[in-house]
Structure 1
């Protein structure tokens, strides 16, 4: 069996491996949100969060592909705790927004680590994820505003999502390659 030569583990690559976990965990959390909405007979919200789950999965596997492409060992982690209990739809979207803000902070930390290590390729790789987090936070902020303005009338939120496009749906042609191919 031939094994890949592995580069020394830098701070950036340690953080990148941790981010693989974070992205997979975000994917699982979005599935929990989608299932909650599905169970509440809110198909547009469910559809939105099922798509978000796939997008986060693709982000995790883009990080995995980069690790493989740069001859680094990859470990596929388990995921962390996932929240399933909510009392109203706004809580779910608030959780999603906070999750995206945390990911944005993690991505900034990764970009700073790459820069501090003079790893120009890693820094360039992180640029797409920085841009992506602007879009992710913006879309969740918009969705939260719509949910709050609806004042409990989820039919209005469902109509909004049916009528409007929120986010790019994960169809960004500039996204880095995804291990196994993007879904």
Structure 2
């Protein structure tokens, strides 16, 4: 695609570019959380967050593909700083809950902007992400509740994840295409 062929980005598209950065940052943050759990011999928690990191990366790639499909210029952003030091098992899970709440606010702002500016394609595109956020906040909140109930018994947390959260979450129906296909 030639540079002259690209459209001028709307307010929605500019926010979507920022959200790509947010999603890549979330992916890297979840890798940092997974590494913390991996280094503390908590393989179920580590696996859960490695998987979550891949999911967030996938969200960024979906947004990139949307921009490409709409003939808009895409720049791959860097990421914001991530937290790598935690003082307890609870701390990274609580951070994940808060991050998901912030992402929900960001996605809601994208939906509102698309609607307010009459960008019906953008509004339709972002609906899948709104539904996804309900699921992600609920899942992280459940995990935090289990961590808090388990207290110092880390085996209970690992057992819960293996029993209740170990299945690879299939991509929900209607998911947008990812840049790069299924890589």
Q: State TM-score, norm by structure 2.
A: 0.96
2:29 maps to: 29
Segments ≥4 residues shifted beyond 6 Å: none
Cα distance, 1:6 vs structure 2: 1.8
Residues 167 and 71 of structure 1: CA distance in aligned 2, closer, same or farther (over 3 Å): farther
Cα distance, 1:168 vs structure 2: 6.4
2:14 maps to: 14
Residues 4 and 166 of structure 1: CA distance in aligned 2, closer, same or farther (over 3 Å): farther
Cα distance, 1:166 vs structure 2: 6.8
Cα distance, 1:78 vs structure 2: 0.7
Q: Greater CA deviation, 167-176 or 122-131?
A: 167-176
Cα distance, 1:173 vs structure 2: 3.4
Q: Is the contact between residue 19 and residue 106 of structure 1 (CA under 8 Å) also seen in structure 2?
A: yes
Q: State TM-score, norm by structure 1.
A: 0.96
- Total equivalences in the alignment: 183
Cα distance, 1:4 vs structure 2: 6.0
The unaligned stretches of length 5 or more in structure 1 are none
Cα deviation 1:83-141 (Å, max 9, x = unaligned) = 00101011100000000000000000000110111010100000000000000000000
The unaligned stretches of length 5 or more in structure 2 are none
- The CA distance in 1 between the partners of 2:92 and 2:53, in whole Å, is 14
1:172 maps to: 172
